Amino acid sequence: MYEKDAIPEAAHSGELRPDISVITVVFNNLDGLRCTSASIERQAGVNLEHIVVDGASTDGTREWLDSYNPPFTVKKISEPDAGIYDAMDKGIRLAQGRYIQFLNSGDCFSDDGALGKAFEYFGEKNAPWAAGGINYLNSERARTRSIDCPEWSLKRLAYGIDFIPHPATFVRRDILQASGGFDQSVGFSADQELALRLGNAHGEPVRIPHRVVDYLEEGAHGTSSYMDRARRYRKIRIKHGMLVGGSSVTDHIFTVAEAWYWSARMRIRGTAKVAFGKLGLLGLRR
């Protein structure tokens, strides 16, 4: 661990408390970290700090962090962790901003004013939490689709029908630290379980009416099957007493059906993409 960087130097002691602590988790993704950090440095209209939590990378990330010195407070950790949400929890404990946001390596803000524009919607209201939309990018950083923060529904969130775009979510630091962070028992759906807890305790988030983050699709969430995902949501419903139909049997049937639906939808989307691509090659796409 970078002990000297985990606590801000005296040079920062006279600065105002940051509006937002941006936490970046990274492991052996130096190129992605450089892209993310450059995007953060370009943000205007908001006072921020950057917390980088590296899982003891071996690709030069630690050496690069030694030279990373942006014009705002930066805190750095490089040590083994128990996974992405363990690393995020470490960042939460170090944060000093009024709000906390997670922007992991490879993800970037949608434009140079995205963070400041987002803060205008929830900062003055001192809102408990807020969420905006994201753009999905492929490995060539080309936009494939975009989503907005959905209309709030605890039930739809627990059922896995809607989800809160985690990279574009901002939570007041005192609330997030008091929440205990992420429940790692639900795996890669821990961000949505946290959103459910926040909604139960503090109501719906302030909806930011624009896309805040460009999000790389090839992340850790994409490594699990649709059945794994459906089972994670079932664990969330069990934890929060929100079984479909109030019955374990009904909820199990729903879980299997949901996994089948997600799988079928992605197959149809993939087939349509190939078909439209062929039409384009034939000169038939306008």
Distance between CA atoms of 118 and 242, rounded to whole angstroms?
32
Helix (H) / strand (E) element for 3: namely: helix 3-6
- Nearest CA among 130, 237, 236 for reference residue 175: 130
The token pair that represents 270 in the structure block: 């993939």
pLDDT, tens only, 201-220: 999 999 999 999 999 986 55
pLDDT at 270 over 80: no
* Confidence grade of residue 112 (pLDDT, cut at 50, 70, 90): very high
Average pLDDT over residues 59-81: 97
Helix (H) / strand (E) element for 136: namely: strand 129-137
The token pair that represents 85 in the structure block: 């949400």
Q: Are 33 and 59 in contact (CB under 8 A)?
A: no
Q: Where are the domains of the chain?
A: 3-224, 243-286
Give the architecture (CATH level 2) of 3-224: Alpha-Beta Complex (3.90)
pLDDT, tens only, 140-195: 999 999 999 999 999 999 999 999 999 999 999 999 999 999 999 999 999 999 99
Q: Are 170 and 100 in contact (CB under 8 A)?
A: yes
pLDDT, tens only, 219-239: 555 557 999 999 999 999 999
The angle formed by the CA atoms of residues 186, 56 and 73, to the nearest 5 degrees, is 90
The model's pTM = 0.87
